[in-house]
Amino acid sequence: MRDVTLTDIFMHPITQKYLKRSGIAHALEVANHSFHLAFKYNVSVDLATKAALLHDIGHYEWYRQGKWDYELYRENDIHAIKGAERAHKLLIRLGESPQKAKQISVAILLHTDSYLPEIDVNRSPLQKVVKLADEMDEEKGGGHHYKQIDYGTALQKIQYLDKLVDQYLPKQQLPHEKTV
Ligand SMILES: [Fe+2]
pLDDT in tens, 28-60: 999 999 999 999 999 999 999 999 999 999 998
- CA 95–ligand 1 middle distance (angstroms): 25
**DSSP character at residue 116:** S
Supply angle C-alpha 43, 178, 82, rounded to 5: 85
CA distance 21 to 54: 12
| CA angle at 69 for the pair 68 and 72, rounded to the nearest 5° | 140
For the stretch 60-117, pLDDT in tens is 888 888 887 888 888 888 999 999 999 999 999 999 999 999 999 999 999 998 888 8
**Residues 87 and 57 sit within 8 Å (Cβ to Cβ):** yes
69 CA distance to ligand 1 middle (Å): 17
Question: How far is ligand 1, taken at its centre, from the CA of residue 85, in Å?
Answer: 16
pLDDT over 50 at 178, yes or no: no
Amino acid at 123: R
What is the distance in A from the centroid of ligand 1 to the CA of 1? 28
pLDDT at 176: 66
| Identity of the amino acid at 36 | H
Beta bridge partners of 64: 67
* pLDDT score of 177: 55
Architecture of domain 6-170: Orthogonal Bundle (1.10)
CA 98 – ligand 1 centroid, Å: 24
What separation in Å is there between the alpha carbon of 56 and the centre of ligand 1?
A: 5
Which of 107, 112, 165 is CA-nearest to residue 138? 112
- Average pLDDT (10-17) is 96
pTM (two decimals): 0.93
* 132 CA → ligand 1 middle, Å: 10
- Whole-angstrom distance, CA of residue 176 vs CA of residue 180: 7
pLDDT of 64 reads: 82
- For β-strands 63-64 and 67-68, DSSP reports them as antiparallel
Res 21: pLDDT: 84
DSSP assignment string, 7-28: HHHHHSHHHHHHHHHH-HHHHH
* 62 CA distance to ligand 1 middle (Å): 16
Task: Output the CA 72–ligand 1 centroid distance in Å.
Answer: 18
